[in-house]
Chain A
Amino acid sequence: MSTEVPTRAGAKAGQATHHMPGRESADRKQVTQGRWASLLLAPTLVLLAVVIVYPIVNAVVMSFQKDAGLDPATGFFVQGGFAGFDNYIHWLGQQCNGTACPPGTLGAQFWSAMGTTFFFTIVTVILETVLGFWMAVIMSRTFRGRAAVRAAVLVPWAIPTAVTAKLFVFVFAFEGIVNKLFGSQILWTGSEWPAKWAIVISDVWKTTPFMALLILAGLQLIPDEVYEAAKVDGASAWQRFTQITLPLVKPALMVAILFRTLDVLRMYDLPAIMTGGANNTTTLSILVVDQIREGFNSAGAISTLTFLTVFLVAFIFVRFLGANAVGAATSSGKK
């Protein structure tokens, strides 16, 4: 969103808007630039309004409508009418027709799906950050065959998620390679924790490279001189890591974590294909898709709730943890 028109003045004035002595026309130039900028941005904004704002607003409007119900006399569906907050109460309170939703309905699964989604988010992001960091540190060293290693690391990321999921279905099947390799008899997709870990392992396998590459980009921005100076001052390897690497890589790291978090919060394909949501692996997105088949308006409510959840998490990240993709980009531009 912070697209700047790259002019000669813009390159230098990007950081601050101080007047430069001897350039009176700078003010006027900026006004013209601003106009140009809005003009050039207009098509993008219109497109965003059509493909993003309209569907969101539409989903919110739908979420206040009742789903079509059956007219018992004719056996045909009739329009539901205005619902107020009923759809939201249905999900948040897990209420079906005024009583608690019985097991075996989608309504009974909202909070467990929320819990499952956050479980996957926290566990996979932590694992991916640690492993990704490790891989990034290795890849940033100079050694023979580094290009090959980097390319190899990218392979899991390049495979479509649905294919990955199918792959791991076979890997974790009862007669699959994991059980054969370890001589175990675990029903990976047949009970809660093995199923959850199977999904976590698949997700970590697939997206750690993404993490590693983003962190690697951050690592390579740290100049060697800083390390050399630290060495001269007698800092140990651990000190160099905690005092130099970590603080300097933090902007890139936070962006990587933010991206991954938002990504996992809407996880659908891995659990949908590997377990079909059985054994408490139903995520919010799976619930949304299941609900779409049962009624659009109620699905509008739960997708709005999912949207708000993700929005909240993103907001917390940016506001309190200092993740800032744009900031990271500008500060890296300085170097």
Chain B
Amino acid sequence: MRNKFSKYAVPFASASVLALALSACGGGGGTGGSTGGGGGGGDASANLDSRGPITYVQGKDNSNVIRPTIDKWNAAHPDQKVTLKEQSDQADQQHDDLVQHFQAKDQNYDVVSVDVVWTAEFAAKGWLQPLKDKTALDTSKMLQAPVKAATYGGTLYASPVTSDGGILYYRKDLVPNPPKTWDEMMADCSIAKQNNIGCYAGQFQKYEGLTVNAAEAINTFGGKIVDDSGKASVNSPESKTGLGKLVDAFKNGNIPAEAITFTEEPGRQAFEAGKLLFLRNWPYVFNLAKTDGDSKVKDTFGIAPLPGMSGPGASSLGGHSAAISVYSQHKATAVDFLKFLTDTDQQKFFATQGSLAPVLGDLYTDPTLTAKLPYLPTLLTSIKNAVPRPVSPFYPAVTKAIEDNSYAALKGEKSVDQALSDMQAALQAAGAK
């Protein structure tokens, strides 16, 4: 008997341990998994006038921006102190941490920092306080794209706090006048060939960065991934032109073949090593390319808005917003804190201390800021022309549909037509019907 039992004991025990590992993640979300429908209900209308201490939740504060900000708030509001809860610096982990706490209806997650692409999901789950009526927020001075990204179903659910957009880095020693359109840039590729370097690169590995780049190509040439009512609308001639431009550039070598493995960092390194004529990347590259010991392009690179169809291209939008949890006990304080985060002084501080792009349009031409961050005027053009990535409560599925199919197209495994019709079908299956 004992022998027989032990015969099964090993696989059972090992398999059980495995199952534990697998289901532990899923189990966490089991009970409160889908408590939607609460958006207009009880939690959202409770505690609107209540004041008191709150907690602010955001990812790791690597450049020491948020601590001094909170200290300043606390000095002015001793009876409504804000406590910082710092998450990890991985976006996925931040997302999952927020989901778990919202599911548990945690009252201690009063104000949370959300990536622009999470807003719709959290709002549709009924976890975010709609910013209207008593909790309304003035967004008239803010840039429109970040506000649009924080809006779901016509209601604002989060206050944009920082923004981000793509800009074009180019070699001004080789190209005196930066290209304004995609076709001009492709024409300049002959210069790259003469100098025996790659012409253009962005982020084309299959990850979120590819969604950003593919969406930029599609939006720049007038395509739309989802239309204004949220329906999938990517299978259009305009999208075909846009995605086709990237595919063609890969085919004829204007985008070097290795760029299919590029995320932000390998692209930056290639550009700094002088191996690229043009690079699409985020503003963070600017200071690094200027100051890195290895950078060979310190004094020979310039920046320009992304090239478009006839003018600036449509950048995808990055950045973070701050939202109030519907379960917060002190929403009046929370609203004041949102206003505090977006007032001119704080926005300036974020920019100078952490190089975080402001959401107030006026600051982009502020001389004290442009002296420190010379790319701001260029970035303003980029953000003014930016199109948010699809605002969808099914964003993880949406981004997968875009990534998988555009990746196959860039690698030539699928025609652009096929990729777009598959993308359309996958978006529909994802829920963007």
- Contact present for A311 and B15 (CB under 8 Å): yes
Of B62-70, B333-341, B397-405, the segment with at least 4 beta carbons within 8 Å of chain A is B397-405
Q: Do residues B7 and A319 form an inter-chain contact, with CB atoms below 8 A?
A: yes
Could you tell me if B6 and A307 are in contact, using CB atoms closer than 8 angstroms? no
Q: Is residue B25 contacting chain A, with contact meaning CB distance below 8 A?
A: yes
Q: With the chains together, A303 CA to B27 CA distance in Å?
A: 11
Q: Which residues of B contact A164 (CB under 8 A)?
A: none
Residues on B with C-beta less than 8 A from A193 are none
**B124 interface hit (Cβ, 8 Å):** yes
Given contacts A62-B30, A106-B400, contact A101 B429 (CB under 8 A): yes
Given known contacts A55-B19, A105-B430, A278-B407, A173 and B261 CB-to-CB distance under 8 angstroms: yes
User: Which of B30, B95, B269 neighbours the largest number of chain A CB atoms within 10 Å of its CB?
Assistant: B30
Q: A55-B24, A299-B26, A325-B10 are in contact. Are A107 and B258 (CB under 8 A)?
A: no
Chain A residues with CB under 8 A of B397: 105-106, 294
Q: Which of A55-99 contact B (CB under 8 A)?
A: 55-56, 58-59, 61-62, 65, 67-71, 74-80, 96-97
Indicate which residue in A65, A74, A279, A288 contacts B22 across the interface (CB closer than 8 Å).
A288
Tell whether A216 is near chain B: CB-to-CB under 8 Å: no
Complex interface: stretch among B51-59, B178-186, B418-426: B418-426
* Interface check A326, CB cutoff 8 A: yes
Interface presence of A145 (CB below 8 A): no
Task: Determine the residue in chain B with the shortest Cβ distance to A68.
Answer: B34
* Residue from the list B205, B260, B428 in contact with A276, Cβ < 8 A: B205
Residues of B within 8 A of A124 (CB): none
Contact status of A174 and B36, CB under 8 A, knowing A2-B9, A55-B20, A303-B23: no
Determine whether the beta carbon of B33 is less than 8 Å from that of A68: yes
Contacting pair B27 A278 (CB below 8 A): no
Residues of chain A lying within 8 A (CB to CB) of residue B30: 58-59, 61-62, 296, 300
- Which residues of chain A come closer than 8 Å to B8, judged between CB atoms? 315, 318
Q: List chain A residues, Cβ under 8 A from B26.
A: 58-59, 62, 288, 292, 296, 299-300, 303
Taking CB atoms, residues of chain A closer than 8 Å to B270 are 175
Residue of B nearest to A63 (CB): B26
Asked whether any CB of chain B lies closer than 8 Å to the CB of A297, the reply is yes
Could you say which of A190, A277, A285, A318 has the most chain B C-beta atoms within 10 Å of its C-beta? A190
Provide the residues of chain B in CB contact with A76, threshold 8 Å: 36-39, 124-126
Tell me the bound Cα distance from A104 to B403 in angstroms. Answer: 8
Q: Are A75 and B153 neighbours in the complex by a CB distance under 8 Å? A: yes
> Which B residues touch A275, using CB under 8 A?
206
Asked if B393 and A59 sit within 8 Å, CB to CB, the answer is: no
Contact with A52, one of B20, B25, B269, B429 (Cβ below 8 angstroms): B20
A104 close to B10 (CB less than 8 A) = no
> Out of B15, B261, B393, which one reaches A174, CB within 8 Å?
B261
Q: Tell me whether A104 and B400 are in contact (CB under 8 A).
A: yes
Residues on B with beta carbons closer than 8 Å to the beta carbon of A69: 431
In the bound complex, what is the Cα–Cα distance between A310 and B152 (angstroms)? 42
Query: What is the minimal beta-carbon distance from B277 to any residue of chain A, in angstroms?
Result: 17
Within 8 A of A (CB), among B247-288: 257-258, 260-261, 266, 269-270
Q: Are A2 and B6 in contact, with the CB atoms below 8 A? A: yes
Contacts of A65 in B (CB 8 A): 33
Name the residue of chain B whose CB is nearest to the CB of A306. Answer: B22
A157 to B25, CA, bound (A): 26
Nearest A-chain residue to B260, judged by Cβ:
A190
Contact of B27 with A55 in the complex, beta carbons under 8 Å: yes
Residue of B nearest to A261 (CB): B14
Q: Which one of A296, A303, A315 lies within 8 Å of B19 (CB-CB)?
A: A303
Q: A96 contacts which chain B residues (CB < 8 A)?
A: 429
Task: Tell whether A148 is near chain B: CB-to-CB under 8 Å.
Answer: no
Query: In the complex, what residues of B have CB within 8 A of residue A165's CB?
Result: none
Q: Which residue of A lies closest to B394 (CB)?
A: A294
Interface centre among A107, A258, A325 (most CB of B within 10 A): A325
Whether a CB of chain A sits under 8 angstroms from the CB of B408 is yes
Query: With a CB–CB cut-off of 8 A, which chain B residues contact A10?
Result: none
A-B CB contact pairs (8 Å), 10 listed = A51-B20, A55-B27, A58-B27, A173-B266, A188-B261, A191-B411, A266-B22, A293-B95, A294-B396, A318-B10
Interface residues of B (CB under 8 A from A): 2-3, 5-27, 29-30, 33-40, 92, 95-96, 124-126, 152-153, 205-207, 257-258, 260-261, 266, 269-270, 393-394, 396-397, 400-405, 407-408, 411, 422-423, 425-426, 428-431
Given contacts A262-B15, A299-B26, A318-B7, 15 further A-B contacts (CB under 8 A): A2-B9, A62-B30, A76-B37, A101-B429, A102-B425, A104-B400, A104-B402, A105-B400, A175-B266, A190-B411, A288-B22, A297-B33, A311-B11, A317-B11, A324-B10
